[in-house]
Amino acid sequence: MTETLLQVRDLKKHFPITGGVLGKKVGDVKAVDGLTFDVKKGETLGLVGESGCGKSTTGRLLLRLLDPSEGSVLFENKEITSLSKEELRRLRREMQMVFQDPYASLNPRHTVEKILEEPLIVHGIGNKTERKKRVQEILEVVGLSSYHAKRYPHQFSGGQRQRIGIARALMTKPKLIIADEPVSALDVSIQSQVLNLLEDLQNEFGLTYIFIAHDLGVVRHISDRVGVMYLGRIVELTTSEKLYAKPLHPYTEVLLSAVPVPDPEMRKEAALLEGEIPSPSNPPKGCAFHTRCHACMDICKQTRPELKEVEEGHFVACHLFN
Ligand code: SF4
């Protein structure tokens, strides 16, 4: 059986809202409101949802770039929510992040060599010669050349900059990479090159990915399993195959109907999502999706559906399947 790398249990992040002259707490933005899932070694879990669903906050909580309000995150059976700063610094070597906007995340005043060397210096890995050698190796791994080491971020195209972002994440030989919308800022033609690179690297180094995206089309081919998020919670979680062939949650159905299909025969009428995503500071009572759901029943307005396994390996939070 494949080993579990990450176990997330009832993870929450509530940001307090303050008001009045005394700055008293008047409410909470429930950015992440009770996530439970596992990630197996070597798999890619896609996390998908509209902007404001809490997927990027989730990525930051898993790396403990943010402290959770409640819940547990076990990485290789070690609880990371209670680690000291020093323990966390050591663990970060194993868990890295690739960001959406490679330009904003690369220091424009540093050469690629300096950018790539930095994680090794932070973690005290290798001497100067060894670090330079690793920079050369990694540039080749991500499809760049050794002469690129002396250049600055502005001298590269968007796709090349994302390759540098991926190279930086790989420098410490991590086990887990959280990629937060890594191809959203790129042209469609470049997106597939970067996705292919991520897949090749996974096969070569046995990496585990959490791939965050707002579009189900992007995560389809790279993800083994996909979790669909709505207002800080997972509403459906299953294998890519099952999710795309037979989505069960009404929200997933709507998201999927918006994904372009190459074969016109297979094309379905795109269902439009009614209204805006409600504010996470004031989520609807009961099922958070009930204000936009075509199948809403009385119970949906009163009782929140829990995420349940309705078929083997297929979890859904919806009263239609209770
Ligand atoms: Fe729609 Fe009710 Fe299911 Fe929510 S619980 S998705 S409102 S049918």
Tell me the pLDDT band of 294, cut-offs 50, 70 and 90.
Answer: very high
pLDDT single digits (tens) 132-148: 999 999 999 999 999 99
Q: Is the CB of 296 under 6 A from ligand 1?
A: yes
First-residue to last-residue Cα distance in the chain: 29
Instruction: Quickly state the pLDDT bin for 187 (edges 50, 70, 90).
Output: confident
Cβ of 290 closer than 6 Å to ligand 1, yes or no, is: yes
pLDDT of 268 reads 54
Q: Is 153 in the pocket of ligand 1 (CB under 6 A)?
A: no
pTM: 0.92
Side chain identity, residue 194: V
Locate the ligand 1 atom nearest the alpha carbon of residue 321 and give its number.
3
Domain boundaries, the chain: 4-83+178-184+206-316
Full strand arrangement of the beta sheet holding 70-75: 24-40, 4-19, 70-75, 78-79
Nearest ligand 1 atom, CA 249? 6
Residue 250: CB within 6 Å of ligand 1? yes
Question: Is the Cβ atom of 310 under 6 angstroms away from ligand 1?
Answer: no
Dihedral of CA atoms 133, 136, 140, 144 in degrees, nearest 10, equals 170
Which atom in ligand 1 lies closest to the alpha carbon of residue 319?
A: 5
Per CATH, which fold does 4-83+178-184+206-316 belong to? Answer: Rossmann fold (3.40.50)
- Atom index in ligand 1 nearest the CA of residue 296 equals 7
The pLDDT-based confidence of 308 (bands split at 50, 70, 90) is: very high
